[in-house]
Amino acid sequence: MFAHLYPAEANAFRTLADEAGRSRLYAGVEHYSDYAAGLELGRRVGEAVVAKARADGSDIPWTGTIPTGPCMWVGTNPGNVGATNWKPLLLVSASEFRPPAPPSCTSSQIQAEVADVRNYPRGLANFTTNSRAFYWQTPEGTYPWAHILLNRWILEEQINAPRAARAYALLGAAAYDAFIASQDGKFAYWYLRPHMLDPGVVPLFPAPNFPAYPSNHSTFSSMRGELLAYLFPEYADYARALGKEAGDSRIWAGIHFEIDNQSGIELGRKVAQKYIDWARRDGSQ
């Protein structure tokens, strides 16, 4: 799989895979036939995954145009726009849980929300939310925070290898579908960012180069919080609280409206619930 994603490093990845397999021989815990059979099985599974990846639409170039008009996002080369062509793993379609259209940016609701974003205190006196907003913008806060928790809880709870693999697969697959679903909403509506509506909004850092509604952070983090809560019920409140903070941080940073946050939370929960419903029927019980 890694050789497919990074062909220039293919030999290095295959060498590492072989070394990992042979380590069981060196440790004296397997026969050579175990090693050879496992290596072949892994290759077959990897080839099946790569074949699926080649047909998932991720290499289809985007040929659309950026719409213009009131309340529309303004920019060039919007990030992730091609994801609307990607084929989900479990969702029926990218638009299965598409949020309803956002209200007009001239509505009283959005005028109140942009005022809230503009007036949120981002000075030194509010160091706590500033620092958390910056954390959720880091590479760790953007994606792997949930996997870091998963790593720790799997070790602490002494989860066996098959169930650990199931947990990682659920979190990864749901993240993929949540990403597609969130981009579907963004590029169905092309909704503007707060600073585009009100130049008085000064974000803590530049807004990502794509539309606002729904919030990616809110979608992904609520989905991860719900899945972690399902996998580790004893940590449910903590996982959900982190997911909520991640979404709220985008308001603290000044790059999203509250409707972006709330629609993302709802979207993430729906994706998570679909995966949880599937997991309850996967035979692992």
191 strand-pairing partners = 72
Query: Looking at the whole model, is its pTM more than 0.85?
Result: yes
Q: What is the mean pLDDT of residues 75-84?
A: 95
Per-residue pLDDT tens digits for 226-254:
999 999 999 999 999 999 999 999 999 99
What interhelical angle do 216-231 and 161-189 show, nearest 10? 160
pLDDT at 123: 78
Q: Is the pLDDT of residue 220 over 90?
A: yes
pLDDT at 177: 98
pLDDT-derived band of residue 96, with 50, 70 and 90 as boundaries? very high
Q: Is the pLDDT of residue 37 over 90?
A: yes
Buried/exposed 114-149: b ≥16 CB within 10 Å, e otherwise: beebbeeebeeeeeebbebbeebbeeebbeebbbeb
Per-residue pLDDT tens digits for 190-218:
999 999 999 999 999 999 999 999 999 99
pLDDT at 243: 96
Q: Is the pLDDT of residue 103 over 90?
A: yes
| CA–CA gap between residue 60 and residue 50 (Å, rounded) | 16
pLDDT at 126: 87
Extents of the domains making up the chain: 1-55, 63-279
pLDDT at 32: 96
Q: Which tokens hold the place of 44?
A: 């077959």
Query: What is the CATH number that goes with domain 63-279?
Result: 1.10.606.20
pLDDT at 124: 77
Q: Using alpha carbons, select from 170, 174, 227, 187 the residue that is nearest to residue 98.
A: 187
| CA–CA gap between residue 187 and residue 201 (Å, rounded) | 23
